[in-house]
Amino acid sequence: MNRLLLPLLATSAFAADFPKPFNSEKGDPMSAEEAAATMQLPPGFKCVVFASEPDVQQPIAMTWDAKGRLWVAENYTYAENPARWDTKLRDRIIILEDKDGDGKHDGRKVFWDQGAYLTSVEWGHGGAWILNDGTLSFIADKNGDDVPDAAPQILLDGFNTKTIGHNIVNGLRWGPDGWLYGRHGITDTSAVGAPGTPNEKRVKMNCAIWRYHPTRKILETVAHGGTNSWGHDWNAEGELFMINTVIGHLWHVIPGAYYRRMFGTHLNPHVYEVIEQTADHFHWDTGAEKWSDIRTGISNKTLELGGGHAHVGMLIYQGGTWPKEYHGKMLTCNLHGRRINVDTLEREGCGYVGKHAPDFMQAKDPWFRGLDLITGPDGNVFVSDWSDSGECHDNDGVHRTSGRIYKIVYGEPKKAEPFDVAAMKDEELVKLLGSENNWWSRKATFELQQKMYNMQVDGAEPSKSPHALRKEVRNNSAKSGETTFILGALFSDFEGRAHMRNYMEWAEYLNAKEESVRATVINFLVADNDTQGEWSEALALAPRTLQQNALHSPDPQVLEDEIAMWRFEGKSKLLPLLKVFAEMAKNDSSGLIRLHLASALQRLPLDARWPIATALAQRTEDANDRQQPLMIWYGIESAVAADPMRGVELIASAKIPTVRRLVARRITEEIEKQPAAVEALVALLGKQPELQKDILDGMSAALNGWNKAPKPKGWDEVAKLLETRSEAILASSGEGKMPSLLENVRQLSTIFGGGRPMEELIPIVKDMEGDASARRNAFASLTRSAKPELLPLIRGLVNDKVIGTEARSALAAYDDPSIPKALLQPWPGRSLEQQTATVNTLISRPAYAHALLDTLKAGKVPASVISPYQARAIVSLKNEALTKKLTEVWGELRDTPEAKKAEMAKWTAALTPAALAKGEAPKGKMVFMAACAACHKLYGEGGMIGPDLTGGDRHKLTYLLENILDPSAIVPADYRMTVFKLKDGRTITGVIPEQNPKTVTVQTPAERLTLERAEITEQQQLSMSLMPEGLLTALGEEQVIHLMAYLQSLGPVQ
């Protein structure tokens, strides 16, 4: 095809209303052909241009379909700092095709062009999967005509776009298990779920790898940590790895793991310690430079080490076309170094290590910004180039009219013939599982998975059932190899599990020679949510002797004996696996297997974890492994919290110091609620000297930051014994330094005695690099009451990555003119949590509220940060000037009676019987869960702040409209807003769910507070509802019709 015509095609492909992209960065890149020709590559390789501007621009992500066509997400809304995004523009998805098979595109189509914040595209199950505008959405194209069948279907929403900046959700890739994987950055937290999911049921993620099942609609977080990962891939054994920036570039992704974060803390406060990176090296000079130094230039040392800390895109090469020395190598684009770095993955201990290897490619084009790497159908590698001269976040502007897709070719590639993997027969797909090019084996695996699902949904003859196809795969597995068989066939069977679930059949493969096979089967047997339900059900139905004896014994033989006595239909398939897993934990020689068993703990019911964890914790060879001790801890943490006495038993038998120390820490944290378990720890201190250091280290860490804690029984006697021993050791050694054991004993004795003074707690709070839990504990101890001398300290912590939110809330207890400025300059634009805390503090006092509204009036903060509830709290301050200012900058809080009547008439006219007949109750339920369920319950789902709506006259339209449009017209006493004035000057508004002679519990939409009556100076109940006005107008007529259909439904709606 004449490529001179392509610019004309590109121009005509723009929809008439598609905003024309513009450049805010000056200059232009080297031409694509010149950039390709000047790429420095090893002998035998060359770089060719597959596509370039104007046919492709801003290529933020790419993927392949079954025909070998390249789908590219073009992101134009990405903008420079401080805006970060420009939603006046739009993003789109294009399809590039190499029709004549010469290695360069000669066909281009625009598939969809209505995107914003578009970061990813993946193809499968009859359509395109996209991350767009804070959602995971699906654009169906069932007939394959490259025209969307309908508007995108939103499957998940809640991915943060407001405050997360460029650390936005990204990275869709199908995993070998049939799940769709993605990534999430560090700068703020997302609450993700299907549309309408209430906030408390949403999956919270911050800095994570996550996955979503395309047919069962399940979302889960896989692992946590890093900075802003922009690449991941699986090796030939099915192990997942991700790339990262700044703090380390390579991480082995173990399900349930917690890795180092660049800043901040994990959402789980009981993680305590984190796993370091898999690589044994860095690509920048960590000894002499700060991570931000690279913005002003790259030092010679950093150039020598690899080019910088920013890595984007990741590929573990398994294409079969390049020389063998590249097979299994990890490749990633180094943004600042304008090159492709290489690491060699090697097994080490229970996991892997990444060894430094020579860089693969170096670009001469100063605008080269490689973003993604993927293997093509011919085994060569495609590299997308953002083509921009700025650093990571484009502080100097964005060049939107450039972009390239390069192809890195080895030797002379053969001309490709047309194909369609989706149209291949079963036997053809099975044979492809053994392809040396993983492009084909992965496509074949994915097609088999889809076939299994379609057979299950649509029904099939026995000869074409999932079971028959599984047998066909098994019969051919000798050619493809056990690992590929497991990844290809086992997970294809995953969809057909309802017809042939037999866990003991799969357990046979736990004896396979290859550790990758055994690891994969472990993951399969525990990874299904349905399986988890069966585990719990089987355990609940098990005889008491099995629950009490087998699950409490560290000896797998006891488990086996008890299970042998219990055999009944339908329940004997699962529990024998506990015995198998416990035996593997005790005897398997593979560290990788033990790592996956530790990972599996988090998938099991709490009682089922103990035998496996106990066996793993006795493997002394894993005591110093980089990840295994912590993976055991992550897996057992919630079980220890539920049954701390079992945790004491685990400490007594464990041989891994890290496990003993962290279990002791978790037990001690609950000293006020579970004192008996701490007393058992103290008793253990006196009985087993070899445990003393780990137990004391754990106890000290747990209470670090506490000023006082209840003394456990027996502490004085044990402390005296330990001090005597330590002092004797100190005297005999002749050293002047106090042993850590003695130091811990004395520190704990102080906390159990008179308490630690404020002067000791302040340094703990100030230590930005210190333990996060200790800092929080110390801060809570210091701020239990407002101490004037602490104001400068608290004020200086409002932007702290760990306790910034707590500091902003604590300032509400102080009346000081410096506080509004500290909270508002700068506005915490990167944290929704801190924004909420800031507003709640500023609406507690009239002077503070004035400052907040002045900032809104100046346009420095959007008015939307104030909710209707918070606006009412401002009105409750009873300051006429303040209320007037609120009306001016935020809006009217309550309409006049005449306006209410007009609004009632408007909605009565709109919601005619004919209009209401179009309402769909399932869609209405989604609206209810999003807009109403935080306060109201219907059919047992929702909150309890407001009245339960299941009863009442909700089948009458007039009843619903009167209560929604004018919620404060009639308010039951239990749901009226109460205003509290406190001695410290604060004003708090909410409803009162509980009270007694000493305290009053106040429920606000944001939190539940317990107030001492002695601190309350004034308490006034208003005839005003917490329910916001203007709800129907905000929803719009179509959503209101669906909501009414749900509210007027006769029973629960699915």
Pairing state of beta strands 219-226 and 258-261?
parallel
Question: Is the CB of residue 840 less than 8 Å from the CB of residue 809?
Answer: yes
Question: Is the CB of residue 184 less than 8 Å from the CB of residue 156?
Answer: no
Predicted pLDDT of residue 73: 98
Confidence at 402, pLDDT banded by 50, 70, 90: very high
What's at 971, amino acid-wise?
A: V
- Calpha distance 354→609 (Å, rounded): 31
Predicted pLDDT of residue 533: 55
- Asked if the domains 3-410 and 897-1047 are classified in one and the same CATH topology, the answer is no
Predicted pLDDT of residue 547: 45
Segment 358-379 shows an average pLDDT of 97
Count CB neighbours of 289 within 10 A.
Answer: 16
Confidence at 733, pLDDT banded by 50, 70, 90: low
Taking only the tens place, the pLDDT of each residue in 211-226 is 999 988 999 999 999 9
End-to-end CA distance of the chain: 53
pLDDT averaged over the chain?
85
Higher per-residue pLDDT: 639 or 833: 639
Confidence at 181, pLDDT banded by 50, 70, 90: very high
Across the strands, what pairs with 50?
A: none
- Find where tokens 């650390």 sit: 167
Q: Is 936 helix (H, G, I), strand (E, B) or coil?
A: coil
Boundaries of every domain in the chain: 3-410, 425-499, 501-642, 783-889, 897-1047
- Calpha distance 275→443 (Å, rounded): 33
- Calpha distance 366→82 (Å, rounded): 24
- Calpha distance 186→862 (Å, rounded): 23
Confidence at 164, pLDDT banded by 50, 70, 90: confident
- Calpha distance 656→619 (Å, rounded): 7
Predicted pLDDT of residue 450: 84
Predicted pLDDT of residue 501: 46
Taking only the tens place, the pLDDT of each residue in 462-504 is 445 555 655 665 555 544 444 544 454 455 444 444 333 455 5
Tokens linked to 325: 């020395």
- Calpha distance 774→1017 (Å, rounded): 34
Long-range contacts of 37-40 (CB under 8 A, 24+ apart): 38/363, 38/364, 38/365, 39/361, 39/362, 39/363, 39/364, 39/406, 40/361, 40/362, 40/363, 40/364
Higher per-residue pLDDT: 663 or 434: 663
Q: Which CATH architecture has domain 897-1047?
A: Roll (2.30)
CA distances from 1052 to 56, 873, 1004 (A): 49, 35, 28
Q: Is 120 helix (H, G, I), strand (E, B) or coil?
A: strand
Question: Regarding the domain delimited by 3-410, which CATH topology (the fold level of the hierarchy) does it fall under?
Answer: Neuraminidase (2.120.10)
Higher per-residue pLDDT: 761 or 479: 761
Segment 859-878 shows an average pLDDT of 83
Residue 369 pLDDT > 90, yes or no? yes
Predicted pLDDT of residue 545: 46
The angle subtended at Cα 35 by Cα 31 and Cα 40, nearest 5°, is 170
What is the strand order of the sheet 339-348 is part of? 311-316, 330-334, 339-348, 351-362
Q: Is 271 helix (H, G, I), strand (E, B) or coil?
A: coil
Which residues have a Cβ under 8 Å from the Cβ of 438 and sit 6 or more positions away? Answer: 236, 318, 319, 320, 375
Predicted pLDDT of residue 110: 97
Phi, psi of 1034 (to 5 degrees): -65, -35
Predicted pLDDT of residue 479: 46
Across the strands, what pairs with 634?
A: none
Segment 113-131 shows an average pLDDT of 97
- Calpha distance 518→330 (Å, rounded): 24
**Percent of the chain having pLDDT more than 90?**
54
Taking only the tens place, the pLDDT of each residue in 896-948 is 567 778 888 888 898 999 999 889 888 888 888 877 877 777 877 777 667 77
Segment 598-614 shows an average pLDDT of 92
Predicted pLDDT of residue 870: 83
Segment 787-808 shows an average pLDDT of 94
Burial class (CB in 10 A: 0-12, 13-18, 19+), 93: buried
Which residues have a Cβ under 8 Å from the Cβ of 781 and sit 6 or more positions away? Answer: 705, 706, 707, 761
Residue 9 pLDDT > 50, yes or no? no
Count CB neighbours of 981 within 10 A.
Answer: 17
Which letter, b or e, does each residue of 44-67 get, where b requires 16 or more Cβ atoms within 10 Å of its Cβ? ebebbbbbbbbbbbbbbbbbbbbb
Residue 510 pLDDT > 60, yes or no? yes
- Calpha distance 832→608 (Å, rounded): 38
Higher per-residue pLDDT: 743 or 346: 346
Burial class (CB in 10 A: 0-12, 13-18, 19+), 243: buried
Predicted pLDDT of residue 997: 85
Taking only the tens place, the pLDDT of each residue in 284-316 is 999 898 888 888 888 999 999 999 999 999 999
